[in-house]
Structure 1
Amino acid sequence: MSMSITGAAKPSSRKTSRPRGPETISRNNPTEPLQLASAPRCLARTRSGTACQSPVMRGRKRCRLHGGASPGAPTGEANGNYKHGMRTKAAIAERRKLTNLARAMRDALAALGDC
């Protein structure tokens, strides 16, 4: 409001509130963009037992404060605790294939023996 010469307050022609389009409307916080407001929320629990209200990191289930920002320890030889390749994903998958093949062969031999 500005004062006129007579001392009476006259309304200002300038808008004081921000225009609120669909990209800025949110149920809880009018300044939060709609895309952020509709983002999935972190699944972590606070110390008081309530759910964390932060949005999750892209492709994760936790926010940046609860482990969403870091993908974990490096895998393979990049990890400092790497000793051998016996428990790598590739080695486990190969052993699983061989076990299934041996089981199939054993079942086939048992079926031939029953004839």
Structure 2
Amino acid sequence: MSPANLDMLREKNALFTEADRAKRWREAIVHNREFHFAGYQLSGMDMLVGHIESLWVSMGPILNVFYSEIVNDYVAAEEHIHLIHALAKDGEGPRVAIERDLLRSGDSIIRFLSTQAK
């Protein structure tokens, strides 16, 4: 991971963080996606990026609810920071950081959906 790529990810995360903290949900969703896809594209694996794109499309409605209706403690994507630090070091860190990001936001979504089922 080059220093320029790490700086680009930091910039994209800063835009996301600013929008997320200001509760500008639509903007936060766009910047979150831009952060994630910038990272995915750095893999150089077009087929993987295409597959992830189809998963994001199916998650769109849930992400809208996540940002606008779900009460959670996951503000400003601390896990994005962990990912950037892990990418600078390589190894297993990036995989673990991405898993934590997915699981942490998933917990809030599951809690919300379970209350809606009642």
What is the TM-score when the length of structure 1 is the normalising length? 0.23
Larger helix proportion of the pair: 2
Q: Which structure carries more relative contact order (alpha carbon 8 Å, separation 6+)?
A: 2
What is the TM-score when the length of structure 2 is the normalising length? 0.23
